[in-house]
Amino acid sequence: MEQEKIFIGSEGAPAGAVFCFSTKRGGVSEGIYESMNVDPRRGDNQEHVIENCRRLGAAAGFAAEDLVMINQVHGDTIIKAAAADRGTGLFRPIEAEADALITDCEHVALTVFTADCTPILLYDPVRRAIGAVHSGWRGTASDIVGKTVSRMSAEYGCKPSVIYAVIGPCISACCFETEGDVPDAMRAQLGESANAAINVTGSKYHVDLKLINKLLLERAGVGNVEVIKHCTACETDLFWSHRRMGLERGSLAAVIMLTRTANPCAD
Ligand SMILES: [Zn+2]
């Protein structure tokens, strides 16, 4: 077991924020959740989930108490998180239904869960604001990532050209075989430029959701986009995959957090 693979970080992000994509490794959960499940809503032992979050945070640079979780519904609702939301999910119930979180508060660790869907983390090092996006194929088709960039601009004055984005491990084109509805939805959002991410194989399609989200980020004006290569459905020794495991599994977490500076958020 390579314990160092407890999480995957960014290779090129500017200083001042933690980027963390969890793996299956390095946790204490048992059975179908073995070993790193960070999702408190999957039926796992809650003490194990909290300990897993502590271990993940110790490796990546946040505290379990900093995490803010949401109930994801494959929509395009974006929620602003504040310091008072810290601990939501692990230490108090989740009430919000949304698929993206933004904040400009330090030590608020925005968290989205995935197990094949595309996680995207956003960081504006100038305005000191961040976003975390859960972009399944429906979220991708509704451009939730572009809407999150717009919301960061509206709320915090972010310039997309200075935002650094990291697209995390997800099901890749090799394994994401679909019917015609998925490519149709991508073309409806992006027009013909979506075709670069769509391969036809017989009567089926293989769709590259990382590339679609990269194109959406570029359309939104985001200056730097890092794409992490891993495929969750190929590498089931390293990641949870809904397509490979169904509901008998844990969840991966994508976490982003502004680290402490001299000007902590007041609320
Ligand atoms: Zn694959």
Cα(213) to ligand 1 centroid in Å equals 17
Cα(239) to ligand 1 centroid in Å equals 11
Rounded Cα distance between 102 and 195, Å, is: 30
Cα(267) to ligand 1 centroid in Å equals 43
Cα(232) to ligand 1 centroid in Å equals 7
Cα(228) to ligand 1 centroid in Å equals 13
Cα(235) to ligand 1 centroid in Å equals 7
**pLDDT number for residue 1:** 47
Residue 235, Cβ density class (10 Å: 0-12 exposed, 13-18 middle, ≥19 buried) = middle
- pLDDT over 90 (residue 263): no
Cα(171) to ligand 1 centroid in Å equals 6
Cα(183) to ligand 1 centroid in Å equals 18
Q: 68: helix, coil or strand?
A: strand
Which tens digit of pLDDT belongs to each residue from 120-169? Answer: 999 999 999 999 999 999 999 999 999 999 999 999 999 999 999 999 99
Cα(174) to ligand 1 centroid in Å equals 4
Which tens digit of pLDDT belongs to each residue from 171-187? Answer: 999 999 999 999 999 99
247: CB partners within 8 A, 6+ apart: none
Which tens digit of pLDDT belongs to each residue from 74-104? Answer: 999 999 999 999 999 999 999 999 999 999 9
- pLDDT over 60 (residue 266): no
Reference 61, options 121, 16, 119, 114; nearest CA is 16
Cα(50) to ligand 1 centroid in Å equals 30
Q: Where in the chain are the domains?
A: 13-258
Cα(209) to ligand 1 centroid in Å equals 12
16: CB partners within 8 A, 6+ apart: 123, 125, 128, 258, 259, 261
Cα(233) to ligand 1 centroid in Å equals 5
Cα(181) to ligand 1 centroid in Å equals 20
Cα(172) to ligand 1 centroid in Å equals 5
* pTM given for the model: 0.97
Cα(199) to ligand 1 centroid in Å equals 14
The residue assigned the tokens 């989200």 is 213
- pLDDT over 90 (residue 219): yes
**pLDDT number for residue 260:** 87
Mean pLDDT, the chain, integer:
96
Which tens digit of pLDDT belongs to each residue from 22-65? Answer: 999 999 999 999 999 999 999 999 999 999 999 999 999 999 99
Out of 3.60.140.10, 3.30.1370.60, 2.130.10.10, 3.40.50.12500, which CATH number does the structure's domain 13-258 have? Answer: 3.60.140.10
Cα(129) to ligand 1 centroid in Å equals 32
**pLDDT number for residue 261:** 81
